[in-house]
């Protein structure tokens, strides 16, 4: 399956893509909570007040994203 990129359409689309990237380690079983993945930009965004520390609570199904 070829990979390609699509332009970000608006702020809501940007947020959806950012959420999806941060939830991937949980989705793939690498960690139980988003905050447990040490390599994520999530931590910087929590520090900047963009996300709460317990965002998604480790349950990616609540966001409604699928592959």
User: Does 14 participate in catalysis according to the annotation?
Assistant: no
Does the pTM surpass 0.75? The reply is no
The rounded distance, in Å, linking the Cα atoms of 49 and 43 is 10
**Selected catalytic residue, list 4, 14, 20, 39:** 39
Structure tokens at 53: 């520390």
Residue 1 confidence (pLDDT): 56
| pLDDT, tens only, 23-54 | 999 999 999 899 999 999 999 999 999 999 88
Q: What is the 3-state secondary structure (H, E, C) of 31-45?
A: CCCHHHCCCCCHHHH
């Amino acid at each position: 399956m070829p990979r390609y990129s699509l332009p970000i359409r608006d702020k809501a689309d940007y947020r959806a893509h950012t959420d999806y990237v941060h939830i991937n380690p949980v989705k793939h079983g690498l960690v139980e909570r988003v905050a447990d993945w040490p390599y994520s930009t999530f931590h910087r965004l929590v520090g900047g007040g963009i996300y709460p520390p317990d965002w998604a609570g480790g349950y990616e199904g609540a966001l409604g994203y699928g592959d």
